Amino acid sequence: MELYNTLSLLIVVAAVFGYLNYRFVKLPGVIGLMVLALVSSLAAIGLGKLGVGWVLQAGELVRGLDFNTILMDVMLSFLLFAGALHVDVGALGRQGVAIGTMATVGILLSTFLIGTAFYYLLPLFGQPIDYIYCLLFGVLISPTDPIAVLGILKEARIDKSLEIRIVGESLFNDGIAVVVFLSLFQIAQFGPERATAAVIGELFLVEAVGGIVLGAVLGYAAYWALRTIDNYQVEVMITLALVMGGTALAKALHTSGPLAIVVAGLIVGSEGRRLGMSDITREYLDKFWEILDEILNAVLFVLIGLEMLILDISRTTLLVGVVSIGLVLLARWVSVGVPLALLQRFYPFDRRTLRVLTWGGLRGGISVALALSLPESMPRDLLVGVTYVVVIFSIIVQGLSIGPLVKKMGLSTGPPPDDQSGH
């Protein structure tokens, strides 16, 4: 019953904020929801300081929501599958080397740059911490969030080839980042003596490669099932079973669930949609996953805004967070620019691409969830607070300006949609 009440509350809040945003605020869908939740949280904090009792109850209610579990164990797989379902696999394959390099080399380079800069920055604010914790911050803040990226790019109307690069990278680099995060987490928790190169190599092999292989097996199994029947109700149910069962199986096998679901979604979205579905099945499947995607996106961005109710962000943490915004953007520019420069001979790009890839690399719920998964024995409050500041800036400022930026650079394919629903 507690789970039902929690879900009911989140859906009600998301629906109310969605209505207010569409009717009055008129910001892009997911950004408007998060802004309203954030403003409500700040107002509640102010009322709490005035002694309003119900604010404390609201804070306890939000505190009872396990953000990390809700996102990483429940929502993420559905959102990744919905995003992967509509990716042009042919275009993705043509840019596969560039996307793969940005999702791997880019993550490692960004982790090192942010972690090192963060290590030397913190003593200036009287907050020195061990280098390994700085690297943990570097990796959790490095991945561009596919949920934030997909939700906002729908409205930016960006050039398709550039959109494929941004979306493709964001779909894969969160899985890679989680693997690197787990490796660094083991070193931080157990020391380099127990977390040897062999142990970390095995973890990467099982998590990353195992996740990709599992996703391919599940994707083609679902594709075969879709080809052998013509019943849209059952076929939609098969895709739902693929996501839920695939996530559970990946967890049992200790492989990367996000990578498995992305690969499975790409297969079903290409081979399955093209060869295994009738027109009516494609229509119902698209509508089902579009609605589910919109609902879960709404809930997620409301959750991000409501987290402000329970975070204790000191003035020092806020200042560190503001400075870290610049560090993260600079590291993003370098970690994207270096792979692109290395591949320039095979994948030509202009400087406009680098600017859009840098500014369009939005951070979101995955970074917050990874930060919240840190134990109290680590400098958790500092890292969570700084992460939250960077994510809020990324979603609001970068999210609102990416559309005008691509239009100004001549990379937009058309005017933004009139509605605020994110369609």
Q: Hey, where are the domains in the chain?
A: 3-408
CA distance 250 to 235: 22
Angle at Cα 149 formed by Cα 414 and Cα 333, nearest 5°?
95
- Give me the phi and psi of 32, to 5 degrees please: -60, -40
Closest CA to 10 of 50, 46, 62: 62
CA distance 352 to 354: 5
415, pLDDT greater than 60: no
The confidence band for 422, taking pLDDT boundaries of 50, 70 and 90, is: very low
155, pLDDT greater than 80: no
Tell whether the torsion through CA atoms of 244, 245, 248 and 254 is positive or negative: negative
Closest CA to 147 of 304, 297, 371, 289: 297
- Per-residue pLDDT tens over the stretch 315-326: 999 999 999 999
CA distance 82 to 76: 10
pLDDT at 413: 67
Neighbours of 308 (CB within 10 A): 19
- Per-residue pLDDT tens over the stretch 133-142: 999 999 999 9
50, pLDDT greater than 80: no
pLDDT at 29: 83
268 with 241: CB under 8 angstroms?
no
The confidence band for 231, taking pLDDT boundaries of 50, 70 and 90, is: very high
pLDDT at 30: 84
CA distance 355 to 400: 16
CA distance 185 to 372: 13
- Which comes out higher in pLDDT, residue 146 or 266? 266
Mapped onto helix, strand or coil, the DSSP state of residue 283 is helix
- Per-residue pLDDT tens over the stretch 143-152: 988 777 776 7
Q: Average pLDDT of the chain?
A: 88
- Give me the phi and psi of 312, to 5 degrees please: -100, 85
The confidence band for 167, taking pLDDT boundaries of 50, 70 and 90, is: confident
Strand partners, 158: 412
User: What topology is assigned to 3-408 in CATH?
Assistant: Na+/H+ antiporter like fold (1.20.1530)
Token pair 């003593």 is at which residue? 123
Mapped onto helix, strand or coil, the DSSP state of residue 317 is helix
Angle at Cα 276 formed by Cα 271 and Cα 281, nearest 5°?
115
Mapped onto helix, strand or coil, the DSSP state of residue 393 is helix
Closest CA to 412 of 165, 152, 156: 156
DSSP 158: B
- Per-residue pLDDT tens over the stretch 375-400: 989 999 999 999 999 999 999 999 99
CA distance 35 to 37: 5
* 276-297 average pLDDT score: 92
pLDDT at 421: 43
* 207-222 average pLDDT score: 95
> 122-150 b/e with 16+ CB inside 10 Å = b?
beeeebebeebbbbbbbbbbbbbbbbbbb
For residue 278, give every residue at least 6 positions away whose Cβ sits within 8 Å of its Cβ, in sequence order, or none.
230, 232
- Give me the phi and psi of 422, to 5 degrees please: 90, 5
The confidence band for 406, taking pLDDT boundaries of 50, 70 and 90, is: confident
CA distance 339 to 110: 11
93, pLDDT greater than 90: no
